Amino acid sequence: MKQYQKEQVREALIRYMAGFATQRAAARSLQGISPSMLSLVKNKRWQSISDIQWQQLAKQVGFYSGNEWQAADTSAHLLLRILFNDAQYNAMAYAVAMGSGMGKTFSAMRYTRENDYAHHVACTEDMNRKTFLQALAKSLELPVAHTVEEMMGDIINTLKGNDELLLVLDDAQKLKDRVLQFAATLYRHLAGRCGIVLLGNDELRMRIVEGVRLNKEGYEDIYKNIGRRFITLGRLNEKDVALVCRANGLHNDGSIACITDACGSNLHYATKMINEYLTKNNTHSIINEPAKKELL
């Protein structure tokens, strides 16, 4: 399996794991895949993983025989692409709050992979200022400096030296207050030179609005930077789920209806069920011509 395919399998795995409470729970749902292997793939330490293991993983997480999981024109995917594009080419700042399972991480990773100078940072609960900057430097393909000040300088100089740059901070609700405020400080240095999108759930929206109300340090700056508003999207509809099914080779109306009813408007669960239907009916090896018309 080629390097770019491994990257795509890793993206599919991250989407798949998002539907489970823990990494161990995700591993238990996969045949012949251990939690340690998931860690290796997630952290890109995959030198010891054989091609057979890659194929075994790929088939179970939505990447089939070189055909990666396909995007569909869902309401969330279209909205995010518009926002990413506007932020990138007009140096805008947006904050987006939408529920789990609507495909925001998939859309962000797809956009940043397909567009030059667009960068995705996956935020985590254990990030501090240094590890946040390290993740950002890695996304920008910069050498990781020893101190926060050095990294901050390198990153700002790089971002100021390029037009039409975009930073997508995904799962921003996971950042601690100090790191979220630090991200706002970074953006102040880049206002008018770089686009930024904070992606999160309603917890992020409520946290920032409440922080402003309580006059917590840094929150007024964050709210001001994003135009004092959040862009929200409630939930997927039946049409969205059907689009994802058809984009990935499942066209049986009865099967699509079953998945739509059972997935609870959550694409993490829908993806798992689509995989199961395709595997059961042995149709996962190709995406047929009707499906291609649904693709972006």
The domain spanning residue 32 has which CATH number? 1.10.260
Domain count of the fold of the chain: 3
Whether residue 155 sits in one domain with residue 274: no
Same domain for 263 and 126? no
Are residues 36 and 146 both part of a single domain? Answer: no
Paired strand residues for 118 = 166
Residues 42 and 83 in one domain: no
- Average pLDDT of the chain? 83
Tell which residue, 113, 136, 152, 131, has the closest CA to residue 7.
Answer: 113
pLDDT of residue 150: 86
267 shares a domain with 185: no
User: Average pLDDT for residues 46-75, to the nearest whole number?
Assistant: 77
Do 128 and 184 lie in a common domain? yes
Q: Assess contact for 242 and 260: CB atoms under 8 A.
A: yes
CA distance 65 to 77: 24
Q: 């793939």: which residue's tokens?
A: 41
Give residue 24's pLDDT band: very low, low, confident or very high (50, 70, 90).
Answer: confident
State which residues form the domain around 271.
236-296
Measure the CA dihedral 143/145/151/154, to 10°. -50
Whole-angstrom Cα distance, residue 280 to residue 283? 8
Q: Residue 63's pLDDT is what?
A: 61
pTM above 0.85?
A: no
pLDDT in tens, 169-228: 999 999 998 898 888 888 888 877 889 999 999 999 999 999 999 998 888 888 988 889
Same domain, yes or no, for 118 and 189? Answer: yes
217 and 79 in one domain? yes
Same domain as 222, residue 79: yes
Highest mean pLDDT among 55-59, 162-166, 269-273: 269-273
Distance separating alpha carbons of residues 85 and 92, to the nearest angstrom: 10
CATH of the domain at 182: 3.40.50.300
Distance between CA 25 and CA 35 in Å, rounded?
Answer: 9
Q: What is the mean pLDDT of residues 61-85?
A: 80
